[in-house]
Amino acid sequence: MLTKSKITWIEEFIKDQLKLVEERENIKIDFKLMNQNLSKVDFNMSITSLDFDPKIEKLNHNLSVRYGFTQNIVGMDFNHPRLGLVEITEIKTKNRKYPIIGQSEKGYYKFTTSQIKSYLGGDKLINRNKNLELLLDSK
């Protein structure tokens, strides 16, 4: 029989082991508890590579321009009034109304392009922040 404390212990143990794999392989693993009852527990795990790939960077830039941004917005983060700090993780072209996906501590959320522009401060502020990041990274 699975108790709440046993499930919590198992989840923490698995997360600790996955941190070792993340460091060794240069990846990010999202591991979350999905469903639980006394006889079965479901977890969800997604793995993302942290290696820089110029093809993916170019694709993200082209998609950002296609949706009306002047820079690549994937990887940028902003403060949402209800969700806290949200990082833009991807752009899904099949979702017409909410194409931009962001992740916070609470989960994944969909946003429209106008919402993202308002949260990031508009194109002028997006460009200013991106150029500032490039200058700070080059030192």
Whether the pTM exceeds 0.85: the reply is no
Long-range (24+ apart) CB contacts under 8 A made by 108-115 are 109/83, 113/67, 113/68, 113/69
| Range list of H helices, the chain | 4-25, 54-66, 113-120, 122-138
Evaluate whether 85 touches 79 at the Cβ level (below 8 Å): yes
pLDDT digits (tens, 9 = 90+) for 63-122: 998 988 888 889 888 999 999 999 999 999 998 899 999 999 888 999 999 999 888 887
The per-residue pLDDT for 94 is 92
Q: What is the rounded distance in angstroms from the CA atom of residue 11 to the CA atom of residue 117? A: 37
The reported pLDDT for the residue numbered 19 is: 93
| Contact by Cβ (8 Å): 75, 102 | no
Q: How confident is the model at residue 37 (pLDDT cuts 50, 70, 90)?
A: confident
CB 27 within 8 Å of CB 21? yes
Answer for the pair 123, 69: CB distance below 8 angstroms, yes or no. Answer: yes
Q: CB count, 10 Å around CB of 21? A: 11
pLDDT digits (tens, 9 = 90+) for 55-68: 888 999 999 989 88
